[in-house]
């Protein structure tokens, strides 16, 4: 390689290195950052908002607050009702049951664990989320036999 070719080669390397350094120096505020978005039923913010949000997305993550079932029925009916609601909520923001990463299950009575698991099994695709199951001291609000919250991705 002659002197002229070496200078061109080195010069191109310096320019490429400077471009990489300049891109890294862009302030974080100018780069794409995840945005927190609260999702409301019917897409419209209600006049009065409770103490928590039901669905929040942050970047490609979805957080769904605890969902209970407040109609008559046994643990299987309640579990199916809760999972149906969660599925609708996930789909409303572009996710699905198969994209669920973490699931917390709160039971009114731990003796219902096996029956709840029977309905729970198979609802999440081939690779179910990680799960924590506990019996809630004092019961579940609204006389639900089960409450479930999830974290998923879009």
Q: What is the pLDDT of residues 24-43, one digit of tens each?
A: 555 555 568 999 898 887 77
- The percent of residues above 70 in pLDDT, for the chain, comes to 79
Q: Return the residue matching tokens 């010069």.
A: 11
Phi, psi angles (nearest 5°) of residue 135? -95, 125
Q: 58 is written with which tokens?
A: 């942050």
- One of 3.40.50.880, 3.30.1330.40, 3.30.565.10, 3.40.50.12160 is the CATH number of 36-153, namely 3.30.1330.40
CB 91 within 8 A of CB 64: no
Q: pTM for the complete prediction?
A: 0.76
Q: 74 is written with which tokens?
A: 């046994």
pLDDT band at 8 (very low <50, low <70, confident <90, very high): low
The mean per-residue pLDDT over the stretch 63-75 comes to: 96
Phi, psi angles (nearest 5°) of residue 112? -85, 0
pLDDT at residue 11, as a whole number:
55
Q: Write out pLDDT tens, residues 76-114.
A: 999 999 999 999 999 999 999 999 999 999 999 999 999
* CA dist., res. 93 & res. 61, Å (int): 10
Q: Which residue has the higher pLDDT, 67 or 42?
A: 67
* CA dist., res. 107 & res. 116, Å (int): 9
pLDDT at residue 40, as a whole number:
80
């Amino acid at each position: 390689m002659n002197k002229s070719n070496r200078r061109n080669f080195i010069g191109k390397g310096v320019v490429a290195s400077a471009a990489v350094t300049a891109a890294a120096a862009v302030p974080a505020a100018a780069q794409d950052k995840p945005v927190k978005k609260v999702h409301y039923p019917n897409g419209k913010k209600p006049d009065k908002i409770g103490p928590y949000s039901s669905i929040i997305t942050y970047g490609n993550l979805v957080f769904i607050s605890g969902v209970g079932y407040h109609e008559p029925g046994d643990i299987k009916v309640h579990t199916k009702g809760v999972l149906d609601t969660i599925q609708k909520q996930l789909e409303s923001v572009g996710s699905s049951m198969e994209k669920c990463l973490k699931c917390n299950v709160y039971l009114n009575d731990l003796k219902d664990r096996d029956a709840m698991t029977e309905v729970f099994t198979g609802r999440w695709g081939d690779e179910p989320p990680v799960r924590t199951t506990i019996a809630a001291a004092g019961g579940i609000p609204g006389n639900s036999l089960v409450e479930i919250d999830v974290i998923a991705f879009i």
